[in-house]
Amino acid sequence: MSGSSEIQMHEEPNSSDHAQHDLLVIAALADRGATGEEADLARAQIAACGACAALHADLVSLATATRQLPPIERPRDFRLRPVDAQRLRPNLVRRLFGSFGTPRDGFSRPLAAGLTTLGLAGLMLGILPGTLSLGGATSGGAPASTAMDQTLEAGASAPAAGVPEVEAPAPAPAGAQPTDPLQQYSDGDRAAADNLRPLGAGELQGDDGGRPVMIASAPEDFTDVADDSSGVSQLMVISGTLLIVGLGLFALRWTSRRFGG
Amino acid sequence: MPSALGPMLDSPSLEIAVRRESLPVEQDLRSTTVPDDPVQRRDLILLERARDGDLDAFNDLVTLYQDALYALVVRMVPDRDQAADAVQEGFFSAFRNLHTFRGGSVKAWLNRICVNAAMDTQRARRRRPSQPYPELEDDSWQPPAGEDADPERTAVLAERSRALSVALTTITDDQRTAIVLYDIEGYDYAEIAEMTGVSLGTVKSRIHRGRLALRDRLEGRMELFRG
């Protein structure tokens, strides 16, 4: 007890400084793991600060006590039974998998997760091509389309510069053929073509009747769409493959952990 | 090769190794070098036999090291049942991977495997946090009582061990593992870094921070450790 009161008497005058001291170097010195500079710093702190000196003494005592901890009696015999040995003998599956899927295997899980994510993302993009189009329409397609419409309207209501004597289109009679060539396509195709319009924007020319029409760029656009669909199928194939590989990797991990012993 | 076996017979725990009739000759040891240490030679002989499918030889190794390995692992994983499972899994793993042994100390190899098994158990606990470790007590152990044994000192030593064991369960797994390997097993920083797969600086930091944490946990009971 007297030792304790001595320590506290030492601690008090230095307590404000002690909070600033580097306790890790004291711990390093107590473990004889301090390098030259650390050891010098620790010794200086111990010499100047009673709390640091007490800490050092305590840490040395703790290290000694830890080394002297008694062994704990094992609760059972760990010898292997023949049935264990039979189960554990390397077989083809175990050799194939090795340590695959063990908690220390830090590679296969992120790889499987990455492949699965890429596969799913690719499939979503492939299955929902409208998602891309919709994204384009909301970001840039709509204004472009609106500009196009405005141009069309302008062309319809007033002569555009460089396009003399453009007549305003007469209202189409009911049941008449639509003047917009895009109307012959389905709504979906038209929507897709609308998004491609910026590529052909400004390609207005007057026809013989002076009506502003789109030059025959729409069919090309649809060709592009057709090309895109083959691209989409490629994307689908690749994404599906990635997804299958990723899920397969997860399955392999599970199998290895479940049956790999 | 009786002359080579001579030193082995001096080993007190050799009866298991020598009870077989035909010990393999040195050429059978696929390890690159044959150590002079009789214990290591014995271990290598047993390991070679186990590699050849002799389960008894492997179980001899288990018998030789299971106490020490359990004592190590139960300090890392203070739940006794989980520690026992980890040791058992370590021996399973050793048996499965006998072919991966590349020479050196069989004991160190087994230690490494069981430390890995214990760390796997720690990771699994972290993934499924349930309850803190139960208080680790060992009533079976009592300090050796000599003629001049002071009952009071004996009681203090027992209480000190108990307090320290409990405090060890309250620091982090990483810190506890590093301290146990450093203090109890006597590995150096570099060996612990290799075993646990972290840098040397991390090992030092874990030991030193763990020691400071222990001192904090035992703040009211440091009298047990002073003097």
Mutate to test the interface with A, among B215, B216, B218, B224 (most CBs of A within 10 A): B215
What would the two tokens of residue A13 be?
Answer: 């005058």
Distance from CA of A120 to the nearest CA of B (A): 27
For A198, other C-beta atoms within 10 Å of its C-beta total 16
Binary contact (A70, B141; C-beta < 8 A): yes
CA distances from B60 to A43, B14, B52, B118 (A): 49, 10, 14, 22
Q: What is chain A's mean pLDDT, rounded? A: 66
- A245 in contact with B at a CB cutoff of 8 Å? no
Contacts of range B59-65, beta carbons closer than 8 Å, 24 or more positions apart? B59/A79, B59/A80, B60/B16, B60/B17, B61/B94, B61/B106, B61/B110, B62/A78, B62/A79, B62/A80, B62/B91, B63/A79, B63/B16, B64/B13, B64/B16, B65/B107, B65/B110
Residues of B in contact with A75 (CB under 8 A): 80-81, 84
Contacts of range B35-43, beta carbons closer than 8 Å, 24 or more positions apart? B38/B7, B38/B8, B38/B10, B38/B11, B38/B14, B39/B11, B39/B13, B39/B107, B40/B105, B40/B106, B41/B4, B41/B7, B41/B8, B42/B8, B42/B11, B42/B14, B42/B17, B43/B105, B43/B106, B43/B107
pLDDT at A123 over 80: yes
Distance from CA of A80 to the nearest CA of B (A): 6
For chain A positions 137-196, those within 8 Å of chain B (CB to CB) are none
What value does the CA radius of gyration of chain A take, rounded to a whole number of Å?
40
**Of residues A47 and A15, which shows the higher confidence score?**
A47
**Of residues B183 and A233, which shows the higher confidence score?**
B183
Binary contact (B63, A79; C-beta < 8 A): yes
CA distances from A43 to A8, A156, A220, B225 (A): 20, 93, 83, 22
Binary contact (A72, B136; C-beta < 8 A): yes
What pLDDT is stored for residue B146 in this prediction? 58
Tens of pLDDT, residues A4-22? 444 443 444 455 577 778 8
Tens of pLDDT, residues A168-225? 444 444 444 444 544 554 554 554 444 444 444 444 444 444 454 444 444 444 444 4
Tens of pLDDT, residues B102-151? 888 999 999 999 999 999 988 888 776 666 555 555 555 555 555 556 78
Q: What share of residues in chain B are helix, strand, coil (percent, to 5)?
A: 70, 0, 30
A204 SS3 class: strand
Least confident of A230-244, B9-23, B67-81, B187-201: B9-23
Binary contact (B184, A67; C-beta < 8 A): yes
CA distance A49 to B112: 41
Cα A169 to chain center, whole Å? 52
For B141, other C-beta atoms within 10 Å of its C-beta total 14
Nearest to A85 among B55, B70, B208 (CB): B55
CA distance B102 to A121: 45
- B222 in contact with A at a CB cutoff of 8 Å? yes
Q: Where are the alpha helices (DSSP H) in B77-196?
A: 80-96, 106-127, 151-170, 173-179, 189-196
For A258, other C-beta atoms within 10 Å of its C-beta total 9
Mean of pLDDT values over B167-185? 92
Which DSSP symbol is given to B220?
G
What would the two tokens of residue A103 be?
Answer: 């908690």
What pLDDT is stored for residue B17 in this prediction? 46
Least confident of A16-25, A78-87, B35-44, B84-93: A16-25
Nearest of B81, B50, B78, B52 to residue B64 by alpha carbon: B50
Distance from CA of A36 to the nearest CA of B (A): 15
Q: State if pTM tops 0.80.
A: no
pLDDT at B200 over 80: yes
**């796997």: which residue's tokens?**
B120
pLDDT at A91 over 80: no
Q: Where are the alpha helices (DSSP H) in A128-183?
A: 129-136, 142-157
Binary contact (A33, B207; C-beta < 8 A): yes
What would the two tokens of residue B167 be?
Answer: 């405090």
Q: CB-based contacts of B47: which residues, under 8 Å, 6+ apart?
A: B57, B58, B61, B98, B101, B106
What would the two tokens of residue B87 be?
Answer: 């040791």
- A257 in contact with B at a CB cutoff of 8 Å? no
CA distance A13 to B63: 57
Percent of chain B's residues with pLDDT above 90: 47
Tens of pLDDT, residues A107-117? 778 888 999 99
